Chains A and B, each alone.
Chain A
Amino acid sequence: MMLKLGVFELTDCGGCALNILFLYEKLFDLLEFYEIKEFHMASSIKEHDTLDVAIVTGTVSTQRDLNLLHYARNHSNYLIALGTCATHGDVQASVEGKIREKLEKVYGTRANPMKALDSTPIVQHVAVDYALPGCPYDKDEIYQVLMNLAKGVEPPTKDYPVCVECKLNEYECVLVKRGIPCLGPITLGGCNAVCIKSQLGCIGCRGPLPKEANPASEFEILKELGYDEEYIRRKFKTFARGELRW
């Protein structure tokens, strides 16, 4: 039996939906188990049907997003929040101020004909069955998750920081050795420490590590390196405004 899959894109950069297409041959492997019923970036097919799996990317930033999210939730058995927009709010949720003030600043008017809302992650609005962060997420991870589901296995979640992947790859620590501000210690791993491979600091795009992170000590380390508090505060909240841990 083929599983019915829908991909729903709310307000975002398109990256998390696009990354599914970047699976190339592996996408065709997935299509042995899944039938795509909705994926507007890739297909003109739209079948209003009950879905086995719904993937939702992006933030709730308009009333339309919210309606679409409820539609996806009400029509699916298993819902995956995919990408940091969906799980933590990403960059757009870190823009400060109320929606009307923001509209006024950028558009010069408080009028809101498209019913824009303050950007929030989807996890704040509906129950999700699986959350996979990353801006964007590692595409092999979603492949594994979908394969697991096709075989009836509940996919595992990761719970270690980026630092672990740095050690495994034997990258030199940019924070300790070079004083580069790196959020690796308090960021959820799963990206294979790709930015540290480029000898750059982690900017925290996979969102905060859920347990055992110590943001306070990270804050102190960065202060000692000479970065001002406002700079650190902004860096911490860029991808995860809603998270109290940061």
Chain B
Amino acid sequence: MSIEIEAFTRVEGNGGAEIIIENGEVKDVKVKIFEGPRFFELLTLGRHYWDVPDLEARICAICYLSHSVASVLAIERAFGAEVPEEIMLLRELGLLGEVLESHALHLYLLVAPDLFGYADAIRMASKHGEVVKEGLTIKAFGNYLREVIGGREIHGINVKPGGFGRYPTVEELERMERQSEALLKFARRAVGIFAGQEYLGAKAEHYVAVNGYLYGNGLIADDGEHFDYFKCIEEKTLPYSFAKQSRYKGEVFMVGALPRVILKYEMLTPMARHLYEEYKEKLAQGYVSLNNLAQAIELVYALERTKEIARVLLDKGFEGENVPIEPKEGEGIGYVEAPRGVLVHHYRIDEKGNIAYSNIITPTAFNHAIMELSLYEEAKKRYGSSDEMTFLQKLEETVRAFDPCISCSVHVVRL
């Protein structure tokens, strides 16, 4: 016998699950991804490098800028091009905007209704209007950063190899500084709200993250390893899904906000670090639902860091000029922390500047195994002891904690 979750709701993309019951016990859980493949690797093959970041952005709307930046980093590394610090800081502003927009969407519109007992944020707004409004304000500010840096709220084409089409103005940077300061109180309140969530799902055996806070040149793991993605991560095919599963040294691992705050707490900004210390023991429990609390702490981080960067750029000023790019044969990997976790773009480029090989691995693909394990553990714990409504509801809540982005997970995985 089996129980079907026909389609997960309040997640991005189309997916479901099958819970297999034998002799009155949960035997297995299969996470099924039925979003159609979009063949992004084939789309970019043979295309000129300049056009590629704009196309890759279309993999996902919630984190389009992470894709643009990862793509641009891979291209620049393939050509051995170095950009000055201010360009990296501006890119980071865009990535911070994405963290704000994506985490706020996830926490307030998708997860909060579970905590407050509603089917969606719209219905929740009648009683808890101010919470929803605070979330939407943070989200709108994140989108403002994406608009200024990326060119549009969704699928902007301003992030380019070597720099930008248009650079932000002094007024825009000042607005970023002011608004991030003003929104901090909302973000701190979010930490309180999401700290109350119950423990759901499994504990990952390992955590993996990019070495820098939002971008870097390699991956790190909780056992101290520093590596390139293809060195320690093994992928395995499944008979029932197009999405592959990965293991780190043979074990189930997790990427995302929880691994980030734990592995890189030393890089957190003062207030975020303080909050991390306060909830350290709780976070160390490791249940995947704590990812939501980690995301709330990252809202604080993203606002503080935005303020910091805007100030540095205002004091230092910047050239607003792109670094010239000279195409040559090469290979490069771009490592970025998308809001949901590690994102990798890996290209080989030919001497004319056209893409000859491309591989992209998204956070939801990295998290596929831990997601399935979490559903299995949660189902095992609850089957028979809670009514069917609660049973299914808790399984959905468990999936939601990963903030899965199903659109991203399928078309990019190689079997």
Contacts and interface: CB of A to CB of B under 8 A. Distances in A.
B166 interface: yes
Interface stretch (B43-51, B183-191, B277-285, B287-295): B43-51
Contact of B120 (A12, A18, A43, A195): A43
B415 A108 contact: yes
B36 A119 contact: yes
A94 interface: yes
Contacts of A43: 9-10, 119-120, 122
B222 interface: no
Given A43-B122, A61-B37, A135-B58, A22 B153 contact: yes
Contacts of B411: 92, 106
Contact of B407 (A12, A40, A103): A12
Contact of A107 (B62, B121, B156, B242): B242
Contacts of A45: 119-120
A168 interface: no
Interface in B27-55: 34-43, 46-48, 51, 54-55
Contact of A40 (B9, B41, B55, B160): B9
B61 A42 contact: no
Given A92-B38, A136-B61, A15 B155 contact: yes
Contacts of B152: 194-195
A64 B11 CA distance: 18
Interface in A181-220: 194-195, 197-200, 203, 205
Contacts of A199: 165-166
B154 A136 contact: yes
Contacts, number: 174
B14 interface: yes
Given A91-B43, A203-B54, A198 B157 contact: yes
B112 to A, nearest CB: 12
Contacts of B12: 14, 18, 41
B210 interface: no
Interface in A39-54: 39-46
Contacts of B61: 13-16, 18-19, 136
Nearest to B118: A44
Contacts of B110: 42
B155 A40 contact: no
Give the one of B14, B153, B413 with max A CB within 10 A.
B14
Q: Please give me the 7 A-B residue pairs with the lowest Cβ-Cβ distance, nearest first.
A: A61-B36, A15-B61, A11-B36, A43-B120, A198-B165, A107-B415, A200-B165
